[in-house]
Amino acid sequence: MAEPRRRCYDGTIMQTPLDVRREIKEARQEGRPVVALESTVIAHGLPWPQNLDAARRVEAAVRAGGAIPATIAVLSGCPVIGLSAAELETFARSADPASDLHGRVRKAGRRDLAAAIAQRAHAATTVSGTMALAGEAGLSVFATGGIGGVHPAVDGRQAFDVSADLHELARTPMLVVCAGAKNILDLAATLEVLETLAVPVVGYGTDEFPAFYLRGSGLSCSARVESPQEAAALASAHWQLGGAGVVLAQPLPAEHALDPATYRAALTEAEALARSQGVTGSALTPFLLAQLARLTQGRTLAANLALLEANARLAAQVAVALSQ
């Protein structure tokens, strides 16, 4: 029995599960580099209108680096590889409390994609959701802010809250450029899980694993590279050996890094507020990030924007090296 045809967000009929936009499709056919980009940071990670500015700057950084940006999301149940400028703005406006779409855009990891598609919902893709769809589209380089990981113990008890990002890295062959993992996580445990899953954690110009808003965590990467070409060679070798994801961790620009003591004080206050309000699960990370921006007078927001742009630039350079 033939697979039923489905209508995409723009009303067109498609035969395949993915709507790969023309620019992306042509680039793939011609062997030109493409960089996948997530959409959760637009809809759930940054406030309006800074989120739209960030999305535009990230795509521009990819193009300046010689690659094609492919922002990924689910629109009315249709997985799209390469949002248009108008669709990008629509997703960004969903973070505006005055928007009709506010609160109606889901946050979708791999687990949530099927429900979003079947229920014809709008969904912003997380790291794992973006990797899943980008992998289906044949993309091999992805730029994000920070990967998820293992959440810290609560009252001395391990909550077993482990991000799906780590398992996606173990199953999808893709180089993920990031600024390490978010500081709200148990970074030592996160690195242990990545080691168990045989995911290389490669420092770009550093031996120390970056910690998102902080340039270092005091923890070691499993390898170090000094150039996009070296990163591309390492990833290629890993894939030839049957490996899957590779984490390429780049410290955020020094001028935007936070003072560790100031950051930890703000995080302690934000976590206490989350506990008092009963914020848990998938709502915890966006809540903490919003509180950190407030408590640091916007310095974490500026750092987030800077590292997103820097990671997009590096991802483009690695994608170019892989295409050559």
* Domain boundaries defined on the chain: 6-323
Separation CA 249–CA 212 (nearest Å): 9
pLDDT at 19: 96
- Tokens found for residue 207: 């031996």
Show which residues are catalytic.
Answer: 38, 182
Separation CA 222–CA 128 (nearest Å): 22
pLDDT at 288: 85
pLDDT in tens, the chain (324 residues): 233 344 454 555 444 479 999 999 999 999 999 999 999 999 998 889 999 999 999 999 999 999 999 999 999 999 999 999 999 999 999 999 999 988 899 999 999 999 999 999 999 999 999 999 999 999 999 999 999 999 887 666 666 788 999 999 999 999 999 999 988 889 999 999 999 999 999 999 999 999 999 999 999 999 999 999 999 999 999 999 999 999 999 999 999 998 889 888 998 999 899 989 988 776 777 788 889 889 999 899 899 999 999 999 999 999 999 999
According to CATH, the topology of domain 6-323 is Indigoidine synthase fold (3.40.1790)
Q: Write the DSSP assignment of 33-54 as a string of letters.
A: -EEEE-SHIIIIIS-TTHHHHH
Residue range 33-46, pLDDT digits in tens = 999 999 999 999 88
Report the amino acid identity of residue 227: S
Whether 143 contacts 72, CB under 8 Å: no
pLDDT at 156: 60
